[in-house]
Amino acid sequence: MSTAAEEDTVWIGFMDIVPVIGTVKEAVELVLALYEGNEAVAKEKEKAIENIVKESLKKHVNKSTDKPAAAAAEFSENENVIVVRKEMITEYVMTVSKRGIKPPTPAQQKEREKRVEAIKKDMLEKIRIITPTFKGELEEELKRSKRGEHVFNNDILKFHYKVLTEFIQSHHIDNLRGYNQQAMDTLGKHTLSRSTAEDIQTNMVVHFGDDEFYVNVNALVYGVFCRALRDAMLNVLRHINPDDVKEEERTWVNYVIENMNYYQIYVDHLAKDKWIANKQTRRARVEKVRQEVAKMYSTERGLDWCKRILDRVAPWFEYRQ
Protein backbone atom coordinates (compact mmCIF):
# COMPACT_ATOMS: atom_id res chain seq x y z
CA MET A 1 0.00 0.00 0.00
CA SER A 2 1.51 3.36 -1.00
CA THR A 3 1.92 6.23 1.47
CA ALA A 4 -0.70 8.27 -0.36
CA ALA A 5 -3.14 5.40 -0.17
CA GLU A 6 -2.38 4.87 3.51
CA GLU A 7 -3.11 8.53 4.27
CA ASP A 8 -6.54 8.15 2.67
CA THR A 9 -7.61 5.14 4.76
CA VAL A 10 -8.89 4.38 8.25
CA TRP A 11 -9.47 1.26 10.32
CA ILE A 12 -13.08 0.38 11.21
CA GLY A 13 -14.48 -2.10 13.71
CA PHE A 14 -17.87 -2.47 15.37
CA MET A 15 -19.23 -2.65 18.92
CA ASP A 16 -22.46 -4.42 17.96
CA ILE A 17 -23.73 -1.90 15.39
CA VAL A 18 -21.74 1.08 16.72
CA PRO A 19 -18.71 1.82 14.51
CA VAL A 20 -15.23 2.44 15.94
CA ILE A 21 -13.10 4.41 13.47
CA GLY A 22 -9.43 5.33 13.80
CA THR A 23 -6.27 5.97 11.83
CA VAL A 24 -4.25 3.56 14.01
CA LYS A 25 -5.19 -0.10 13.75
CA GLU A 26 -4.05 -0.96 17.27
CA ALA A 27 -6.19 1.83 18.75
CA VAL A 28 -9.35 0.44 17.14
CA GLU A 29 -8.41 -3.08 18.26
CA LEU A 30 -7.85 -1.80 21.81
CA VAL A 31 -11.33 -0.24 21.99
CA LEU A 32 -12.95 -3.46 20.79
CA ALA A 33 -10.89 -5.58 23.19
CA LEU A 34 -11.97 -3.41 26.13
CA TYR A 35 -15.60 -3.55 24.98
CA GLU A 36 -15.45 -7.35 24.71
CA GLY A 37 -13.75 -7.69 28.09
CA ASN A 38 -10.66 -9.34 26.57
CA GLU A 39 -7.96 -8.17 29.01
CA ALA A 40 -5.10 -10.10 27.39
CA VAL A 41 -5.64 -8.53 23.97
CA ALA A 42 -6.25 -5.12 25.53
CA LYS A 43 -2.86 -5.21 27.31
CA GLU A 44 -1.16 -6.32 24.10
CA LYS A 45 -2.68 -3.44 22.14
CA GLU A 46 -1.84 -0.92 24.86
CA LYS A 47 1.80 -1.99 24.64
CA ALA A 48 1.74 -1.74 20.85
CA ILE A 49 0.33 1.79 21.02
CA GLU A 50 3.01 2.81 23.53
CA ASN A 51 5.68 1.57 21.12
CA ILE A 52 4.08 3.42 18.23
CA VAL A 53 4.03 6.66 20.24
CA LYS A 54 7.66 6.22 21.33
CA GLU A 55 8.77 5.52 17.77
CA SER A 56 6.86 8.53 16.51
CA LEU A 57 8.48 10.83 19.09
CA LYS A 58 11.96 9.63 18.13
CA LYS A 59 11.36 10.41 14.47
CA HIS A 60 9.21 13.54 14.77
CA VAL A 61 11.91 15.61 13.08
CA ASN A 62 11.53 13.58 9.93
CA LYS A 63 7.94 13.97 8.70
CA SER A 64 8.46 11.29 6.10
CA THR A 65 8.68 8.71 8.86
CA ASP A 66 5.45 9.69 10.59
CA LYS A 67 3.06 6.73 10.95
CA PRO A 68 0.17 7.34 8.53
CA ALA A 69 -3.28 5.85 8.72
CA ALA A 70 -3.22 2.05 8.64
CA ALA A 71 0.51 1.98 7.85
CA ALA A 72 1.41 -0.78 10.32
CA ALA A 73 -0.27 -3.57 8.36
CA GLU A 74 -2.91 -4.11 5.73
CA PHE A 75 -4.85 -6.58 7.88
CA SER A 76 -5.91 -6.94 11.52
CA GLU A 77 -5.82 -9.96 13.81
CA ASN A 78 -9.41 -9.04 14.69
CA GLU A 79 -11.55 -10.15 11.76
CA ASN A 80 -14.05 -7.41 12.59
CA VAL A 81 -11.46 -4.68 11.97
CA ILE A 82 -10.68 -3.79 8.35
CA VAL A 83 -9.08 -0.91 6.46
CA VAL A 84 -11.45 1.34 4.50
CA ARG A 85 -10.83 4.34 2.29
CA LYS A 86 -12.10 7.55 3.86
CA GLU A 87 -14.55 8.32 1.07
CA MET A 88 -16.11 4.86 1.62
CA ILE A 89 -16.66 5.18 5.39
CA THR A 90 -20.37 6.04 5.22
CA GLU A 91 -21.18 3.35 2.65
CA TYR A 92 -19.28 0.67 4.59
CA VAL A 93 -20.89 1.55 7.94
CA MET A 94 -24.37 1.51 6.40
CA THR A 95 -23.69 -1.84 4.71
CA VAL A 96 -22.51 -3.51 7.92
CA SER A 97 -25.39 -2.04 9.95
CA LYS A 98 -27.93 -3.54 7.55
CA ARG A 99 -26.56 -7.03 8.12
CA GLY A 100 -28.33 -7.15 11.46
CA ILE A 101 -27.37 -7.36 15.09
CA LYS A 102 -24.07 -9.05 15.85
CA PRO A 103 -23.82 -11.86 18.41
CA PRO A 104 -23.14 -10.66 21.97
CA THR A 105 -19.56 -10.47 23.17
CA PRO A 106 -18.41 -12.83 25.95
CA ALA A 107 -18.70 -9.99 28.47
CA GLN A 108 -22.22 -9.15 27.29
CA GLN A 109 -23.25 -12.78 27.36
CA LYS A 110 -21.96 -13.17 30.91
CA GLU A 111 -23.88 -10.10 32.07
CA ARG A 112 -27.02 -11.36 30.34
CA GLU A 113 -26.71 -14.74 32.03
CA LYS A 114 -26.44 -13.03 35.42
CA ARG A 115 -29.61 -11.03 34.76
CA VAL A 116 -31.49 -14.10 33.55
CA GLU A 117 -30.45 -16.08 36.64
CA ALA A 118 -31.66 -13.27 38.91
CA ILE A 119 -35.00 -13.23 37.06
CA LYS A 120 -35.32 -17.01 37.34
CA LYS A 121 -34.63 -16.88 41.08
CA ASP A 122 -37.27 -14.19 41.59
CA MET A 123 -39.74 -16.11 39.41
CA LEU A 124 -39.34 -19.34 41.38
CA GLU A 125 -39.67 -17.56 44.73
CA LYS A 126 -43.02 -16.13 43.67
CA ILE A 127 -44.36 -19.29 42.07
CA ARG A 128 -43.45 -21.49 45.03
CA ILE A 129 -45.59 -19.32 47.30
CA ILE A 130 -48.60 -21.12 45.85
CA THR A 131 -46.92 -24.12 44.18
CA PRO A 132 -44.06 -25.27 46.45
CA THR A 133 -43.24 -28.28 44.27
CA PHE A 134 -43.00 -26.31 41.00
CA LYS A 135 -40.23 -27.72 38.79
CA GLY A 136 -40.76 -25.76 35.57
CA GLU A 137 -38.07 -23.89 33.68
CA LEU A 138 -38.03 -20.43 32.17
CA GLU A 139 -37.92 -20.82 28.40
CA GLU A 140 -36.11 -17.94 26.71
CA GLU A 141 -37.77 -16.76 23.52
CA LEU A 142 -35.14 -14.96 21.47
CA LYS A 143 -37.52 -13.83 18.73
CA ARG A 144 -39.51 -10.69 19.47
CA SER A 145 -43.30 -10.65 19.41
CA LYS A 146 -44.69 -8.71 16.46
CA ARG A 147 -47.61 -7.53 18.56
CA GLY A 148 -45.29 -6.22 21.26
CA GLU A 149 -45.16 -6.87 24.99
CA HIS A 150 -48.02 -5.73 27.23
CA VAL A 151 -47.18 -3.96 30.49
CA PHE A 152 -50.27 -5.60 32.03
CA ASN A 153 -51.11 -9.12 30.94
CA ASN A 154 -53.92 -8.84 28.42
CA ASP A 155 -55.63 -11.91 29.92
CA ILE A 156 -56.80 -9.72 32.82
CA LEU A 157 -59.68 -8.56 30.64
CA LYS A 158 -61.09 -12.04 30.04
CA PHE A 159 -59.91 -14.15 32.98
CA HIS A 160 -63.17 -14.07 34.95
CA TYR A 161 -65.27 -14.64 31.84
CA LYS A 162 -63.27 -17.82 31.14
CA VAL A 163 -63.66 -19.05 34.73
CA LEU A 164 -67.42 -18.46 34.64
CA THR A 165 -67.75 -20.09 31.22
CA GLU A 166 -65.88 -23.19 32.41
CA PHE A 167 -68.15 -23.38 35.47
CA ILE A 168 -71.31 -23.10 33.35
CA GLN A 169 -70.16 -25.72 30.84
CA SER A 170 -68.84 -28.23 33.38
CA HIS A 171 -72.16 -28.20 35.29
CA HIS A 172 -74.39 -27.77 32.20
CA ILE A 173 -75.96 -24.76 33.85
CA ASP A 174 -77.04 -23.29 30.52
CA ASN A 175 -79.43 -26.27 30.18
CA LEU A 176 -81.26 -25.52 33.43
CA ARG A 177 -84.71 -24.05 33.46
CA GLY A 178 -84.55 -20.36 34.25
CA TYR A 179 -81.00 -19.94 32.99
CA ASN A 180 -80.34 -16.27 32.21
CA GLN A 181 -77.55 -15.70 29.69
CA GLN A 182 -77.63 -11.93 30.07
CA ALA A 183 -77.11 -12.21 33.82
CA MET A 184 -74.15 -14.53 33.30
CA ASP A 185 -72.63 -12.22 30.68
CA THR A 186 -72.82 -9.34 33.13
CA LEU A 187 -71.19 -11.39 35.88
CA GLY A 188 -68.44 -12.49 33.50
CA LYS A 189 -67.37 -9.00 32.45
CA HIS A 190 -64.40 -7.27 34.00
CA THR A 191 -65.17 -4.18 36.09
CA LEU A 192 -62.36 -1.96 34.83
CA SER A 193 -63.03 1.46 33.34
CA ARG A 194 -62.92 1.81 29.59
CA SER A 195 -59.73 3.87 29.70
CA THR A 196 -57.99 1.27 31.89
CA ALA A 197 -59.08 -1.55 29.59
CA GLU A 198 -57.73 0.38 26.59
CA ASP A 199 -54.44 0.98 28.39
CA ILE A 200 -54.08 -2.73 29.13
CA GLN A 201 -55.12 -3.94 25.70
CA THR A 202 -53.70 -1.31 23.37
CA ASN A 203 -51.85 1.64 24.86
CA MET A 204 -49.37 0.13 27.31
CA VAL A 205 -47.50 -2.01 24.81
CA VAL A 206 -43.79 -1.88 23.96
CA HIS A 207 -41.56 -3.44 21.33
CA PHE A 208 -38.11 -4.69 22.29
CA GLY A 209 -35.40 -4.62 19.65
CA ASP A 210 -33.31 -7.71 18.96
CA ASP A 211 -30.40 -5.98 20.68
CA GLU A 212 -32.37 -5.18 23.85
CA PHE A 213 -32.48 -7.40 26.91
CA TYR A 214 -35.86 -9.06 27.37
CA VAL A 215 -37.10 -12.30 28.90
CA ASN A 216 -40.82 -13.03 28.87
CA VAL A 217 -41.00 -14.29 32.43
CA ASN A 218 -44.47 -12.84 33.06
CA ALA A 219 -46.20 -15.36 30.81
CA LEU A 220 -45.01 -18.22 33.01
CA VAL A 221 -45.58 -16.60 36.42
CA TYR A 222 -48.97 -15.19 35.48
CA GLY A 223 -49.99 -18.51 33.97
CA VAL A 224 -49.17 -20.42 37.17
CA PHE A 225 -51.04 -17.96 39.39
CA CYS A 226 -54.04 -17.82 37.06
CA ARG A 227 -54.36 -21.60 37.02
CA ALA A 228 -54.21 -21.59 40.82
CA LEU A 229 -56.87 -18.89 41.09
CA ARG A 230 -59.08 -20.53 38.47
CA ASP A 231 -58.93 -23.86 40.31
CA ALA A 232 -59.55 -22.16 43.65
CA MET A 233 -62.61 -20.34 42.34
CA LEU A 234 -64.00 -23.40 40.58
CA ASN A 235 -63.51 -25.35 43.79
CA VAL A 236 -65.78 -22.84 45.52
CA LEU A 237 -68.32 -22.72 42.71
CA ARG A 238 -68.64 -26.51 42.37
CA HIS A 239 -70.58 -26.62 45.65
CA ILE A 240 -73.48 -24.78 44.01
CA ASN A 241 -74.94 -24.20 47.48
CA PRO A 242 -73.03 -21.26 49.05
CA ASP A 243 -73.47 -22.76 52.52
CA ASP A 244 -71.45 -25.82 51.53
CA VAL A 245 -68.27 -23.87 50.76
CA LYS A 246 -65.55 -24.71 53.28
CA GLU A 247 -63.61 -22.05 55.13
CA GLU A 248 -60.25 -23.29 53.83
CA GLU A 249 -61.58 -22.97 50.28
CA ARG A 250 -62.54 -19.34 50.88
CA THR A 251 -59.19 -18.67 52.53
CA TRP A 252 -57.26 -20.13 49.60
CA VAL A 253 -59.04 -17.92 47.05
CA ASN A 254 -58.18 -14.84 49.09
CA TYR A 255 -54.59 -16.01 49.62
CA VAL A 256 -53.92 -16.43 45.88
CA ILE A 257 -55.45 -13.03 45.11
CA GLU A 258 -53.52 -11.29 47.89
CA ASN A 259 -50.23 -12.59 46.51
CA MET A 260 -51.19 -11.75 42.93
CA ASN A 261 -51.80 -8.16 43.98
CA TYR A 262 -48.83 -7.88 46.34
CA TYR A 263 -46.31 -9.13 43.75
CA GLN A 264 -48.15 -7.57 40.79
CA ILE A 265 -48.16 -10.93 39.06
CA TYR A 266 -50.07 -9.50 36.10
CA VAL A 267 -47.33 -6.90 35.37
CA ASP A 268 -44.43 -7.47 32.97
CA HIS A 269 -41.82 -5.40 34.82
CA LEU A 270 -39.33 -5.24 31.94
CA ALA A 271 -42.07 -3.96 29.64
CA LYS A 272 -43.26 -1.57 32.36
CA ASP A 273 -39.82 0.00 32.81
CA LYS A 274 -39.41 0.44 29.06
CA TRP A 275 -42.88 1.97 28.67
CA ILE A 276 -42.47 4.37 31.61
CA ALA A 277 -39.01 5.46 30.40
CA ASN A 278 -38.47 7.52 33.59
CA LYS A 279 -41.50 9.71 32.81
CA GLN A 280 -43.46 10.59 35.94
CA THR A 281 -46.75 11.01 34.06
CA ARG A 282 -46.47 7.47 32.72
CA ARG A 283 -45.43 6.12 36.10
CA ALA A 284 -48.57 7.62 37.64
CA ARG A 285 -50.68 6.22 34.82
CA VAL A 286 -49.33 2.70 35.37
CA GLU A 287 -49.99 2.99 39.09
CA LYS A 288 -53.59 4.04 38.44
CA VAL A 289 -54.17 0.97 36.28
CA ARG A 290 -52.47 -1.27 38.85
CA GLN A 291 -54.71 -0.02 41.65
CA GLU A 292 -57.84 -0.55 39.59
CA VAL A 293 -56.79 -4.09 38.63
CA ALA A 294 -55.93 -4.94 42.24
CA LYS A 295 -59.32 -3.67 43.41
CA MET A 296 -61.12 -5.75 40.81
CA TYR A 297 -59.37 -8.96 41.84
CA SER A 298 -59.71 -8.44 45.58
CA THR A 299 -63.30 -7.17 45.79
CA GLU A 300 -65.36 -6.89 42.63
CA ARG A 301 -64.17 -10.17 41.11
CA GLY A 302 -62.85 -12.05 44.13
CA LEU A 303 -64.45 -14.37 46.67
CA ASP A 304 -67.61 -12.22 46.86
CA TRP A 305 -67.93 -12.60 43.10
CA CYS A 306 -68.06 -16.37 43.52
CA LYS A 307 -70.77 -15.96 46.14
CA ARG A 308 -72.84 -13.75 43.82
CA ILE A 309 -72.61 -16.37 41.10
CA LEU A 310 -73.80 -19.09 43.47
CA ASP A 311 -76.63 -16.92 44.75
CA ARG A 312 -77.70 -16.56 41.14
CA VAL A 313 -77.46 -20.19 40.01
CA ALA A 314 -78.48 -21.99 43.20
CA PRO A 315 -82.25 -21.47 42.59
CA TRP A 316 -81.83 -23.05 39.16
CA PHE A 317 -80.74 -26.21 40.95
CA GLU A 318 -83.76 -25.80 43.22
CA TYR A 319 -81.67 -24.93 46.26
CA ARG A 320 -83.40 -22.69 48.78
CA GLN A 321 -81.38 -20.22 50.86
pLDDT value of position 76:
56
| pTM beyond 0.75 | no
Contacts of 25 (CB under 8 A, 6+ apart): 11, 70, 72, 73, 76, 81, 83
Averages of pLDDT over each 10 residues, the chain, 321 residues? 59 78 86 81 83 73 45 51 76 64 68 88 93 78 73 96 96 91 94 97 90 87 96 96 94 98 96 95 97 97 96 77 40
The answer to whether the Cα torsion of 43, 48, 49, 54 is positive or negative is positive
Distance CA 121, CA 116 (A): 9
pLDDT value of position 283:
97
CA distances from 210 to 19, 53, 100, 217 (A): 18, 40, 9, 17
What is residue 149's three-state secondary structure? strand
Q: Specify whether the CB–CB gap between 148 and 275 falls below 8 A.
A: no
pLDDT value of position 310:
94
